[in-house]
Structure 1
Amino acid sequence: MARIHAVAPHEAGPLIKAAYRYTERQYGEVPEPFAVLANHRKLFLVSAGHEMGAQKASTVLPPNVRDIAVYRVAWTVGCSWCVDFGTMLQRLEGLDIDRLQHIGEYETSELYSDDERAAIAYADAMTETPTAATDDQVADLERRFGRDGVVELTYQIGLENMRARMNSALGIHGQGFNSGDACRVPWATEEEARKP
């Protein structure tokens, strides 16, 4: 259970309720980070718009490259929610999720392409504190993906660092999205307990 109460639909205003309905249709369940962020209405709305905008704008990189770099950040930071949700997104993209079990051996595993290895190494460098990205890495990525591809990759890795660190700090854990049978957000259990 998260360290901060997830806002239940009966506690939410009309905009947040509408957002809950949208995400429930999209993913089968309201993502718990979304419900925790709803405690701060303005940041919730900014975040929802930002996430949708970033998703729609990120079309330069092949999904396998972008998604594996983002997954690596979640795995490195140790955000079980992000790993769970990211695995589901890769599954829905039609990507091979079995190889995610071998993300720790990406440098030598035949399951990863050279482009994916370069993106994962960059994700590692960006996730270190302080960051350790190098001129050579960026130049290599620019040759592979173009300038807009490097910017997109950098943006997505940075965004996932923010998500993963925020979710980890707030105690938000895997929700079961990867299994296709998402766990209910906390209020669902509370509402069922209140029923006669």
Structure 2
Amino acid sequence: MDTEFAQIDPYLPPVEKPAGLIKKLVYALSRRQFGKVPTPVKVVYARMPVAFGMFVGKIGQLDKKLELPQETAYLIREQVAHINVCTFCTDIGRYFVIRANMNEAKFDALHQYSTSPLFSEAERAALDYVTELTRDKNVAPQTFARLRSHYSERAICEIVWLVASEHFYNLTNLGLNIHSDMLCNIARKS
């Protein structure tokens, strides 16, 4: 590993004791939901509460309106986070998978989705599209055609939305050197 990037601590120090009633409430609600205050809350939200809170809130609102199966949405987000090497994002994604009692074996097999019997042809088409878009920032016409053979136009737009919004989370955490909070371990214990 390149020692230049081996630092574990976030580049900005986490705000452990927030000022203001609303920030304290957000910390308390986060602690209640996750068993601890996630690092992005202490690093980003604490410094940009209105902007970050509103943007993340809007992502959450739009995610609730998705017509894609929840498992498919989580698979897409996790694939993007894996490619972008956002360990916080893969950790919190797995936290939600555990809490929703989804098949963890399927998420464990994500790196071999193209050959694993756990994945449908539709999921493979979506994950090929997501992988290509995330990795190359471009998609071949044949990849899109395969995706289109399995998904409606709305579902395709939802897939693109999931990729784009996951990039927001990934780049926010990577840019500030925020890594896993081991939230998945907390979820397994509860």
Alignment TM-score, normalising by the size of structure 2: 0.83
Instruction: Determine if contact 2:95/2:187 at 8 Å carries over to the other structure.
Output: no
Provide the rounded CA distance (Å) in 1 between the counterparts of 2:22 and 2:59. 16
2:153 match: 147
> Does residue 156 in structure 1 map to residue 162 in structure 2?
yes
Contact 1:126 1:158 in 2 (8 A): no
Q: Secondary structure at the match of 1:128?
A: helix
SS of residue paired to 1:171: coil
1:97 to 91, 104, 129: 104
Question: Counterparts in 2 of 1:11-22, with a 5 A limit?
Answer: 11-22=18-29
**For each residue in 1:5-38, what CA deviation from the matched residue of structure 2 results, as whole angstroms up to 9, or x when unmatched?**
2222x33322222222222222222221122112
Seen in structure 2, the aligned counterparts of structure 1 residues 142 and 69 have a Cα distance that, compared at 3 Å, is same
Partner AA of 2:182 in structure 1: G
Alignment-derived partner of residue 120 in structure 2: 113
In the TM superposition, structure 1's runs of 4+ consecutive aligned residues that sit over 4 Å from their partners are none
Aligned equivalents of 1:178, 1:95: Cα separation in 2 = 13
User: CA contact under 8 A between 1:142 and 1:149: conserved in structure 2?
Assistant: no
Q: Report the CA distance shift for 1:67/1:36 in structure 2 as closer, same or farther (over 3 A).
A: same
Counterpart for residue 174 of structure 1? 180
Return the alpha-carbon distance in structure 2 between the equivalents of residues 138 and 34 of structure 1. Answer: 36
- Unaligned residue ranges in structure 1 (runs of 5+): 183-196
CA distance, structure 2, for counterparts of residue 62 and residue 141 of structure 1: 15
For 1:71 and 1:144, locate their aligned partners in 2 and report how far apart those are by CA, in whole Å.
Answer: 20
Of 43, 48, 58, the residue aligned with 1:50 is 58
Does 1:75 find its partner at 2:82? yes
1:68 positional shift: 0.6
Give, in whole Å, the separation in 1 of the partners of 2:32 and 2:53: 18
C-alpha change, 1:3 and 1:109, in structure 2 (3 Å) is same
Deviation at 1:97, TM superposition (A): 1.3
Unaligned segments of structure 2, at least 5 residues: 1-8
Identity of aligned residues (%): 24
Judge conservation of contact 1:6–1:32 (CA < 8 Å) in 2. yes
The one-letter amino acid paired with 2:79 is R
Correspondent of 1:124 among 131, 150, 153:
131
Query: In the TM superposition, what is the alpha-carbon distance from 1:76 to its structure 2 partner?
Result: 0.8
Q: CA deviation at 1:94?
A: 1.9
Give 2:6's aligned residue: none
Q: Which amino acid counterpart does residue 163 of structure 2 have in structure 1? A: I
**Partner amino acid, structure 1, of 2:49:** R
| Contact 2:74-2:97 within 8 A present in 1 as well | yes
The residue identity in structure 1 corresponding to 2:133 is M
Contact 2:87 2:180 in 1 (8 A): yes
